């Protein structure tokens, strides 16, 4: 077999002091077995990205690095940049020093044992391997319902994402180079990676419960994530507004004709209720449509400013 390749794991961490000791331990074991099987090289690393945590996350990462500098590395972001930006910060930092990179959440919800299959697929020639959830038995009904609704809604709205795939995936350094060419500020990696193309495949795993701590994605963040995903990848909502406008116009012409006939026929009503109803309906619709257009205008605003997507304060890594 060819020489084993260098695998870097990128793990975004926001207030994850409760899970990091366990996550690092399990990753270390996994790496040792992979190195033992000759699947990855000894220079492979795990890079924790501290996304502006308020707890001891960064101290723990530093300790890990000190105790095992050949294995654990860390990136400290200057402020909380958000999950997607933290993942990108990690990927862009390692893209030139690894052969492949896997992104994984810190909370052990993604099954570490899937890594073997991902790496094997890489050797079979896949440049992107998506981790796809086969079951959601451990999620609460609410999480399951909202999360699956999210994928379906995204599809209806024209943003094509891999169903039930979160950000657990392997990418080759070749794909990472191309990802680096994407300049957008509003990141939605699940939509961006399929756009890059190359040969890809899915591996299936069962998603576990969070090992410890609580979700950093409450409903509010999840909603804004969905809106961001849709407005970054599709102009379908704008087209829907146009259709809505057409339908309303036709309806109002019909109403006009009806009003005219009623007037001529002499059976017109005092007409207060119908007038009020239409004012409220049309007013509400207009506000909704303005809001949707506003979402896009706001997005253009942040894209035009092109502010840095993340700021790296520190990178601890022992390069061999």
Torsion-angle region of 242 (φ positive above 0: left; ψ -120 to 50: alpha; else: beta): alpha
Q: Which stretch binds Mg ion (CB under 5 A): 61-69, 86-94, 98-106, 111-119?
A: 98-106
Using CB under 5 A, pick the residue from 57, 84, 93, 109 that binds Mg ion. 109
Which of 124/214 has CB closer to ligand UDP?
214
Beta strands 7-13; 45-50: pairing state: parallel
If one asks whether residue 12 binds ligand UDP (CB under 6 A), the answer comes out as: yes
Which of 11/175 has CB closer to ligand UDP?
11
From residue 222, how far is each of 166, 215, 216, 226, 228 by CA, in Å?
12, 11, 10, 6, 10
Using CB under 6 A, pick the residue from 33, 63, 80, 146 that binds ligand UDP. 80
User: For the chain, how long is the longest CA-to-CA vector?
Assistant: 92
Identify whether the C-beta of residue 103 lies closer than 8 Å to the C-beta of residue 167: yes
**Which residue is listed with tokens 């074991």?**
29
If one asks whether residue 110 binds Mg ion (CB under 5 A), the answer comes out as: no
Number of residues that bind ligand UDP (CB under 6 A): 16
Q: Which stretch binds Mg ion (CB under 5 A): 18-26, 101-109, 169-177, 302-310?
A: 101-109
Query: Which one of ligand UDP, Mg ion, none is in contact with 193 (Cβ closer than 5 to 8 A by kind)?
Result: none
If one asks whether residue 83 binds ligand UDP (CB under 6 A), the answer comes out as: yes
What CA–CA distance (Å, rounded) separates 196 from 206? 26
Which of 16/126 has CB closer to Mg ion?
16
If one asks whether residue 99 binds ligand UDP (CB under 6 A), the answer comes out as: no
Cβ 315 to Mg ion, closest distance in Å?
A: 25
If one asks whether residue 215 binds ligand UDP (CB under 6 A), the answer comes out as: yes
> C-alpha 6: how far from its chain's center?
25
Cβ 103 to ligand UDP, closest distance in Å?
A: 10
If one asks whether residue 109 binds ligand UDP (CB under 6 A), the answer comes out as: yes
Q: Where are the alpha helices (DSSP H) in 157-215?
A: 173-179, 189-196
What CA–CA distance (Å, rounded) separates 220 from 181? 30
If one asks whether residue 106 binds ligand UDP (CB under 6 A), the answer comes out as: yes
If one asks whether residue 133 binds ligand UDP (CB under 6 A), the answer comes out as: no
If one asks whether residue 107 binds Mg ion (CB under 5 A), the answer comes out as: yes
Cβ 313 to Mg ion, closest distance in Å?
A: 24
Half-sphere exposure of 11 (CA within 13 A, CB side): 28
Which of 57/127 has CB closer to ligand UDP?
57
Cβ 109 to ligand UDP, closest distance in Å?
A: 5
| CB neighbourhood size of 102 (10 A) | 23
If one asks whether residue 190 binds ligand UDP (CB under 6 A), the answer comes out as: no
What CA–CA distance (Å, rounded) separates 177 from 174? 5
What CA–CA distance (Å, rounded) separates 230 from 236? 9
If one asks whether residue 139 binds ligand UDP (CB under 6 A), the answer comes out as: no
- DSSP label of 198: S
| CB neighbourhood size of 98 (10 A) | 25
Identify whether the C-beta of residue 248 lies closer than 8 Å to the C-beta of residue 285: yes
Interface residue list for Mg ion (CB under 5 A):
105, 107, 109
Interface residue list for ligand UDP (CB under 6 A):
12-14, 16, 51, 80, 82-83, 86, 105-107, 109, 215-217
């Amino acid at each position: 077999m060819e020489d084993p390749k260098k695998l870097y794991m990128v793990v975004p961490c926001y207030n994850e002091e409760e899970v990091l000791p366990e996550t690092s331990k399990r990753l270390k074991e996994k790496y040792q077995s992979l190195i033992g099987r000759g699947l990855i090289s000894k220079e492979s690393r795990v890079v924790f990205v501290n996304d502006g945590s308020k707890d001891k996350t960064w101290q723990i990462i530093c300790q890990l690095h000190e105790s095992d500098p050949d294995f654990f590395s860390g990136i400290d972001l200057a402020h909380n940049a958000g999950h997607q930006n933290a993942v990108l910060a990690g990927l862009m930092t390692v893209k030139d020093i690894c052969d492949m990179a896997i992104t994984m959440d810190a909370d052990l919800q993604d099954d570490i044992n899937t890594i073997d299959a991902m790496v094997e697929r890489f050797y079979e020639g896949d440049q992107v391997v998506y981790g796809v959830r086969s079951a959601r038995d451990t999620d609460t009904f609410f999480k399951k319902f909202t999360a699956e609704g999210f994928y379906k809604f995204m599809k209806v709205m024209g943003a094509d994402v891999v169903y039930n795939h979160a950000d657990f995936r392997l990418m080759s350094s070749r794909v990472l180079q191309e990802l680096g060419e994407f300049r957008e500020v509003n990141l939605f990696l699940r939509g961006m990676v399929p756009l890059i193309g190359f040969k890809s495949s899915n591996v299936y795993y069962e998603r576990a419960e969070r090992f410890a701590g609580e979700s950093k994605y409450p409903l509010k963040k999840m909603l804004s994530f969905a809106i961001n995903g849709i407005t970054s990848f599709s102009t379908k909502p704008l087209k829907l507004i146009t259709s809505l406008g057409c339908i309303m116009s036709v309806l109002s012409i019909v109403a006009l004709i009806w009003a005219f006939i009623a007037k001529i026929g002499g059976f017109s009503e005092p007409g207060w209720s119908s007038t009020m109803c239409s004012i409220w309906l049309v007013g509400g619709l207009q506000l909704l449509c303005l809001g949707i257009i506003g979402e896009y205008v706001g997005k253009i605003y942040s894209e035009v400013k092109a502010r840095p997507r993340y700021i790296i304060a520190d990178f601890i890594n022992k390069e061999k």
